[in-house]
Structure 1
Amino acid sequence: MLDEEMYIPTYQDMLDAHERIKPHIRRTPVLTSAFLNELTGAELFFKCENVQDPGAFKVRGATNAVFGLGDDQAKAGVATHSSGNHASCLSYAAMLRGIPCNVVMPKTAPQAKKDTVRRYGGVITECEPSTTSREETFAKIQAQTGGDFVHPYNDPRVIAGQGTCAREFIEQTDGLDIAMAPIGGGGMISGICLTLSNMAPETQIIAAEPEQADDAMRSFKAGYIIADDAPKTIADGLLVPLKELTWHFVSNHVTDILTASEEEIIDAMKLTWKHLRIVIEASSSVPLATILKNKERFAGKRVGIIITGGNVDLDKLPWLK
């Protein structure tokens, strides 16, 4: 149930966010592949958020939050908890504005993502790889620093920022039958819902999730939030549960949530690297994995897939064992 005090971002908030962040982000390209179209029987469009400077779509929401702060608020900086990409993107946005950024990250977060956070000036405090440990550690750090809490996804400023990606996507593709993105906490999916329910209400929104971290799918079927504390999957960006604000968008606008196995996720990741010739992380390959698993559902459709990130530890690729 949505907290009565929680602000639900509007379409106008997304439009305002787009103007606010425009000087600081890239309008990312959309790629296609004749091979992947033939393989799936669908017409696939891939929006490449992996080429944002910090390597992920989360720079949109983070930048909207950071540059929306008043000067007095900004002096104490920002703080968050994240398995990687939000931490990197918030550190990047804070660096652009010249304010401090403190982040809590699980000990098991990929080294490549920790390195990126530090490169942008973020200060890391490590925690155990569970939602409980993450939130308890963060409470201590925020109390010490006084930084403005920018939640990785359950934040109206973040959702409005992520919604700008869907706006660009619709403009770049001349419309889609289906829009897809991976789902963990639901920030990107919520942004898609916010934008498309206004710009293209006829477009179905389908989320994709690992079988080994399928709490969003189970929540969707049950009609209420089911949260796993410490799921394990190669798709490390999808380990966190839905929260009240993202659940509001998911429960009202998402058509379905599909899942894929670890092997299917890795195979889709390899296919994307090979045929789109781009570096993507495992979390980003989950939508393609679910399409390949459910070809009949997508056959003949124009399907937009958001490639959410490309921050990969090249020494630990999942197929190099």
Structure 2
Amino acid sequence: MKDLTMTLPTYQDVIEAHDRIAPHIHRTPVLTSSYFDDLTGAQLFFKCENLQKAGAFKVRGASNAVFGLDDEAAKRGVATHSSGNHALSLSYAAGRRGIPCHVVMPRTAPDAKKAAVRGYGGVITECEPSTSSREEVFARVHAETGADFVHPYNDPRVIAGQGTCSRELMEQTDGLDAVIAPIGGGGMVSGTCLWMSHAAPETAIFAAEPEQADDAYRSFKAGHIIADDAPQTVADGLKVPLKENTWHFVQNHVSDILTASEDEIVAAMKLAWQRMKIVLEPSSAVPLATILKNPGVFAGKRVGVIITGGNVDMDRLPWTQ
């Protein structure tokens, strides 16, 4: 397996990624809401990756990795570990190229995401809901298959792919004072940092995280990576820790990390459903929750809000539990 540790993608990598993945993704819309503008005192521009292929932004990075493989490597397929959106996105991209995809997923991952992985042709091996179990089981699957490891977020190909989201956002808006995205492992935030630091260095970058899985927040304040093994939060896509590549972008380009409680996340998710008529998954509601919690930070500013996904288990809506 190629060692991708501290191999940082470049601005040019994002440009090439966007050309490579264009046939396989949606150019997702940017929506506005006078209700949320009035509520927050800011102008919010929602980049709707919940309307993306496979229902999440992660199809960008996954497609960049899959379609960047040479033919010999592609024959062995791809493999990863993921709680959901990267798993189904990599399965989608692999299916588009006609190659195998092996995925290690926590047994507690939403059934809707497991069904989507299998629907795209991915082969699932389950693990316990902890980082240590995930990595242990994946090491076995990877050794058995010899497939190309596409890390959910620490892979430079993935980070470059995620950066295409911010490229589109800047093309679709007339300048922004700030951009905010949810943070778990940091792939989307890193891609945002990569693009914005070159294309719009004056734009502040914020990350949003659940209080109950706030290792990125604590890492940011401490100045080094702090990793939790198995945090518990309704935002299932944000349970993983930062890694070397993503930490580089976070510590060098993020202005601040804001957190929201479980109740605040669910309330923001429900409010977006009610007022904007769009489906957000809990992880995607965290940025809106932090804006509602900290209106003074964003009041009077033009703010890009990256809605990262809309893959929700309709039988387990958080406000019905």
TM-score interval for Structure 1 and Structure 2 normalised by the shorter chain:
over 0.9
**What is the CA-CA distance between 1:275 and the residue it aligns to?**
1.2
Residues 197-253 of structure 1: per-residue CA shift (max 9 Å, x gap): 000000000000000000000000000000000000000000000000000000000
CA shift for structure 1 position 296:
1.0
CA distance in 1, matches of 2:5, 2:96: 31
Deviation at 1:6, TM superposition (A): 2.8
1:58 correspondence with 2:64: no
Q: Secondary structure at the match of 2:245?
A: helix
Task: Tell me the residue number matched to 1:102.
Answer: 102
CA distance in 1, matches of 2:4, 2:38: 48
Equivalent position SS for 2:54: coil
What is the rounded CA distance, in whole Å, between the counterparts of 1:12 and 1:4 in structure 2? 18
Q: How does 1:108-257 map to 2 (within 5 A)?
A: 108-257=108-257
How far the C-alpha of 1:25 sits from its partner, in A, is 0.3
Q: Percent identity?
A: 74
Amino acid aligned to 2:75: K
TM-score (norm 1): 0.98
The equivalent of 1:296 in structure 2 is 296
Deviations 1:111-131 (A, max 9, x none): 000000000000000000000
Instruction: State how far apart, in whole Å, the 1-side matches of 2:72 and 2:283 are.
Output: 37
Distance in 2 separating the partners of 1:6 and 1:255: 22
Q: Structure 1, residues 252-307: CA drift from partner, whole Å, max 9, x if none?
A: 00000000000000000011111111111000000010011111111111010000
* CA distance in structure 2 between the partners assigned to 1:278 and 1:312 by the alignment: 12
CA distance in 2, matches of 1:271, 1:203: 27
Give the structure with the higher percent helix.
2
Q: Which residue identity does 2:312 align to in structure 1?
A: V
1:272 aligns with 272
What amino acid is aligned across from residue 259 of structure 2 in structure 1? Answer: T
Kindly report structure 1 stretches of 4+ aligned residues shifted beyond 6 Å: none
- Give the whole-Å Cα distance in 2 for the aligned partners of 1:5 and 1:253: 19
Give, in angstroms, the shift of residue 52 of structure 1: 1.2
Structure 2 letter corresponding to 1:153: Y
3-state secondary structure, aligned to 1:22: helix
* 3-state secondary structure, aligned to 1:209: strand
Q: Secondary structure at the match of 1:315?
A: helix
Distance 1:4 1:68, change over 3 A: closer
Structure 1 distance, partners of 2:315, 2:263, is 19
SS in 1 for 2:257: strand
Cα RMSD after superposing both structures: 0.9
Q: Which residue type is aligned with residue 65 of structure 1?
A: A
Unaligned stretches of 5+ in structure 2?
Answer: none
Q: What is the total number of aligned residue pairs between the two structures?
A: 319
User: 1:23 aligns to what SS in structure 2?
Assistant: helix
Deviations 1:53-94 (A, max 9, x none): 200000000000000000000000000000000000000000
Match of 2:303, as an amino acid?
Answer: V
- Provide, for residues 126-181 of structure 1, a one-character-per-residue CA deviation record: whole Å limited to 9, x for no partner: 00000000000000000000100000000000000000000000110111101000
Q: Distance in 1 between matches of 2:25 and 2:276?
A: 22
Counterpart Cα distance in 2 of 1:61 and 1:281? 19
Cα distance in 1 for residues equivalent to 2:194 and 2:74? 27
1:60, 1:253 → 2: CA distance?
21
Inter-partner Cα distance in structure 2 for 1:275 and 1:32? 11
Task: Answer whether contact 2:184 2:240 (CA < 8 A) is retained.
Answer: yes
